[in-house]
Chains A and B, each alone.
Chain A
Amino acid sequence: MGLSVQALSFRYPGRGEAALDGVSLEIPDGCVFGLLGPNGAGKTTLISLVSGLLRGAQGRIEARGQTGLVPQDHAFYPMLTCRENLHFFGAVQGLAGAELERRVAAVAAFGRIEGVLARRAGQLSGGLKRRLNLAIGLLSEPEILLLDEPTVGVDPQSRAFLLESIRALARPGRTIVYTSHYMEEVQAICDRVAILDAGRVLASGALSELLHGGQRNLEELFMQLTSRSLRE
């Protein structure tokens, strides 16, 4: 098992309702796991707890290996060049010398950003920013990679590239948890899926198992489970 979450509950201080309410998930090693849910379902809270960003949850999280987070925001320094960003985030994770150089070169090649390493990150296009964001998340070579809506705001070409790259990252020893609002993306690259709403797991399992009830696709299943009412 790559990642196991057992009866996880979490409430933000000062808020009445629980953000997560008894969530249990078993995510096999080497799979791409899609985490779906409307706004406020608890997806970001869940991956924040798994990555250690949030503390104070009830329940149990067992991760086999190091976690790496690729946040939804462009979480890097716009005034620094891409190379300076990669060096900085590598160094604060304890990398140095030849090993740091090797990893910077490897993630830059993976994200196909070698040609813009000398450019300031703030001047990049939306697609390049997403690729830099992903590259930074890969510097530590994590066994569990948490991707929070990594394709928001990119053109179709960059999206296709990102999806292929993410799919290529999955291998034995590396598990990928992928949150998105784009059902077709999840259907295209994920082996297993969980649908969350109001902090609870509504459905979880392999795509083929979930789509056995006559639904034509994941979006239909999603709308059926979460209802069509608008969310905050």
Chain B
Amino acid sequence: MMRRLRALWRKEQLALSRDVHGLAVLFVMPAAFIVVMSLALSDELRGGGGGAEFAVLSADGGQRLAERLAGDGFRAVAPPPGEAAARDAVRRGKPALVLVVGQGSPPALQLLADPALPPPLLAAFQQRVLGVVLADAFGVDLKSAASLRVEVVGPSGARPSAVQQGVPAWLIFGMFFVVMPISSLFIVERREGTLARLASMKVPFSLVLLGRIGPYCVVNLAQAVLMLLAGMYLVPWLGGEALALPARWDLLALVALATSLAAIAWGLLVAVCARTMEQATLIGGIGNILAAAIGGIMVPRFVMPARMQAFAEVSPMAWALDGFHAVMLRQGGLAEIALPCLKLAVLAAALLAAALLLQRRQRP
């Protein structure tokens, strides 16, 4: 039994090592996503956002208020000559914000905002305006309010960076793409009659499926190592932040293993279902992209509305992401990763059973 299994593993490892395109998809694609998305979202997730220009339109010139609002990336510029001109200017994005101070006591405040301004920046400026109002009304020092120290209770005491969030997400996405080489090699075997030959040699189909699991687990774990290295060295080399590794490597490996089993079992089911390469690419590719979109890989779950966040729970990629976040962001222990790992393992078993049943039904 073990001799036959070793032969199947060796064959799969040789075949996979010679499938250059399949390997490129598995290693280059997630690494490219990690680099691009980590750099693109670095300011967004750091909470910086780059700031914006603003002006204050007030009967008294608004210079004193503008000085008080300036800082933390918000730069005061000369106000437009009137409200109509201010609206025109904001529509063009120069400046992105104009605070219109009305007549009367207390004066009515209106904030004109560039439609292209990111919502977090708009919210940050609103808070600055309210801070100034509070300072005037209650004598609260705006500088003190602005220097409120935020501590994120995590490994580094700082808010997780884009690379910290992005590496697990795109690693999971890449791991699930083993569906492509698994199904394409399987379809070639079926088309060329090799599976039939193995059956005539009394090699059980369950063993043929098991023969895939070992080599692809190794591939998935190699993906994990390489993507972590990309986050640690490649992203900072290109100007982003470096990935901080968790203290518990063993738990990280456990989550990666559970994710790998689910991804491989999914690949095997697609391989058994699909009759042609085109079908496998369609089912596997679209399935992965949908699972990624729903599961918070492409769009972080925290920006989704509540109903979508609840719906995200159906995606195995969301379970895997929960597991990785528990280890990499929250320094969680075995208890924190147990549920996501269990869900992934049960899914893997169910998908394998479905693949076996389907194969039995297809073959008289």
Contacts and interface: CB of A to CB of B under 8 A. Distances in A.
Interface of A: 12-13, 48, 51-56, 67-69, 71-80, 84, 87-89, 91-94, 96, 136, 140
Contacts of A87: 7
Interface stretch (B65-73, B196-204, B250-258): B196-204
Contacts of B364: 12-13, 54-56
B46 interface: no
B15 A79 contact: yes
A53 B7 contact: no
A75 B192 contact: yes
B11 A51 contact: no
Nearest to A51: B200
Contacts of B194: 75-77
Nearest to A84: B14
B7 A69 contact: no
Q: When A and B form their complex, which 8 residue pairs have the shortest distance between CB atoms, in order from nearest? A: A73-B193, A91-B7, A75-B193, A75-B197, A69-B200, A51-B200, A71-B193, A79-B18
A78 B4 contact: no
Contacts of B201: 89, 92-93, 140
Contacts of B202: 52
B3 interface: yes
A71 B197 contact: yes
Given A74-B192, A88-B7, A79 B19 contact: yes
B8 interface: yes
B185 to A, nearest CB: 9
Contacts, number: 74
A147 to B, nearest CB: 12
Contacts of B14: 79-80, 84
B275 interface: no
Interface of A is mostly: loop
A136 B364 CA distance: 25
Given A12-B364, A56-B364, A140-B201, A96 B3 contact: yes
Contact of A53 (B18, B189, B196): B196
A76 B19 CA distance: 16
A136 B6 CA distance: 19
A89 B8 CA distance: 9
Contacts of B189: 77
Contacts of A94: 3-4
Contacts of A71: 193, 196-197, 200
B301 interface: no
Contacts of A78: 188, 192
Nearest to A85: B11
Interface string B193-219: 110111111110000000000000000
26 contacts: A12-B364, A13-B364, A48-B196, A52-B202, A53-B199, A67-B200, A69-B197, A69-B200, A71-B193, A71-B197, A72-B193, A76-B192, A77-B194, A78-B192, A79-B14, A80-B11, A80-B14, A87-B7, A88-B10, A88-B11, A91-B6, A91-B7, A92-B7, A92-B8, A92-B198, A94-B3
A22 to B, nearest CB: 18
Nearest to A140: B201
A80 B15 CA distance: 7
B206 to A, nearest CB: 14
A53 B74 CA distance: 74
B296 to A, nearest CB: 37
A96 B197 CA distance: 19
Given A91-B6, A92-B7, A136 B15 contact: no
Given A73-B193, A78-B188, 12 more contacts: A48-B196, A53-B199, A68-B200, A75-B196, A77-B11, A79-B15, A87-B7, A88-B7, A91-B3, A92-B4, A94-B4, A136-B197
A122 to B, nearest CB: 10
A10 to B, nearest CB: 8
Contacts of A73: 192-193, 196
Nearest to B201: A93
B200 A53 contact: yes
Contacts of B198: 92
Contacts of B15: 77, 79-80
A93 B203 CA distance: 8
A52 B3 contact: no
A74 B14 CA distance: 19
The listed residue with most A CB atoms (<10 A of its CB), out of B3, B192, B197, is B197
Contacts of B363: 54
Interface in B145-204: 188-189, 192-194, 196-203
